[in-house]
A = this chain, B = another copy of it.
């Protein structure tokens, strides 16, 4: 039932291109941004931003004031997070902010042994790598939060909507000594209903998944406690002495456009509401995917409940950035897809099983269409 990688599964001798849907590389909004074209370019004079400092008087001394302002405006426009009583800490993507949060929460405890970092399975595969790669004495990967039962301090990563499976999440351990980091990278209207503004101690966001500008490496944290925010800033100071000013300035101007696009009558570039556009875009992809696997006994895809979204003022189901696909029992799903030259991330990396894979829904149209075209072949091959 396996296929020849050299010739592909469609029987002709033209080699099929490999489709990489392993990473969540968010190139899908490119056509939206291309419409802006020449009208919207960021220009930076060569004499600007020489200094390490953006605002020496701010707790986060390397944060560009304009970016801080646009982050706050966007959260208020979308209604997905409370910015009042929170400090904004900018990071080189949210990966750096996860590490900054682990450092800030663990270093101040002064424990003799590393504290456990847990997350409910299936969990974002990078948490384990991030927690363990330097064999830190401050923190270590503790695995599936559902299985954690130690009487000691711990950090729980709560990803909501969850990566890989798109469901809304809350903390599951809820023991004494617990500290929680909310990774809200996907809590934007194109992926899920905005049911209420999040208001947690540490909330992480990233431009990558909000607007699709992953190349900029800009993320931000909203942090309630001043000392925790200071420690996170300290981490970023030691790790990279701040965050690129060019990337911050560009992110600020992109967030400004997104906020403006959401407000009727103030669309400077005559653009469609960004979140309506991207939500419709994701909904269409999900519809196509569901159609492609509908009559399929090998592959199945989660259903999501309809919920009221305050932002769009209507009911919607979720359209996550990834498909968390389940294959027939006993099947090694990643391997089968790889034989069809579709690269995905196997379930074991997420603390789950080999019958699951995570597939990016954020690729360019050409790759997504090829992926849909190949799905029937997989079914045919496997059913022989």
- A: which residues have CB within 8 A of B? 23, 25-27, 29-30, 33-34, 36-38, 40-54, 92-93, 95-96, 99, 103, 126, 129-130, 133-138, 208, 212-218, 235, 238-247, 249-250, 253-254, 257
Contacts and interface: CB of A to CB of B under 8 A. Distances in A.
Contacts of A44: 41-42, 250
Given A103-B133, A135-B136, A246-B250, A240 B240 contact: yes
B241 A244 contact: no
20 contacts: A26-B50, A29-B50, A38-B45, A42-B46, A44-B250, A50-B214, A52-B215, A93-B241, A96-B240, A129-B238, A130-B238, A133-B235, A134-B134, A134-B136, A136-B136, A215-B242, A240-B240, A246-B247, A246-B249, A247-B247
Given A44-B42, A103-B133, A243 B217 contact: yes
B41 A41 contact: no
A30 B52 contact: no
Contact of A213 (B50, B243, B257): B50
A30 B43 contact: no
Contacts of A43: 41-43
A316 B185 CA distance: 54
A47 B28 CA distance: 11
Copies in the complex: 2
B25 A51 contact: yes
Contact of A99 (B36, B49, B239): B239
Contacts of A49: 213, 215-216
Contacts of A212: 50
Given A25-B53, A92-B92, A250-B44, A244 B215 contact: yes
B240 A93 contact: yes
Contacts of A30: 47, 50
A245 B134 CA distance: 26
Most central of A30, A208, A235, A247 by chain B CB within 10 Å: A247
A304 B110 CA distance: 45
A158 to B, nearest CB: 21
A133 B43 CA distance: 37
Nearest to A48: B215
Most central of A25, A30, A41, A246 by chain B CB within 10 Å: A246
A24 to B, nearest CB: 9
A268 B216 CA distance: 29
Nearest to A208: B52
Name the 5 nearest CB pairs between A and B, nearest first.
Answer: A135-B137, A49-B215, A33-B47, A244-B247, A215-B245
Given A52-B208, A136-B137, A215-B242, 4 more contacts: A25-B51, A34-B47, A95-B238, A246-B250
A41 B36 contact: no
A231 to B, nearest CB: 11
Contacts of A246: 42, 215-216, 244, 246-247, 249-250
Nearest to A206: B241
Contacts of A214: 50-52, 241
A54 B217 CA distance: 13
Contacts of A34: 47
Contacts of A254: 46
Contacts of A245: 215-217, 247
Contact of A46 (B25, B40, B48, B129): B40
A50 B36 contact: no
B238 A216 contact: no
A217 B238 contact: no
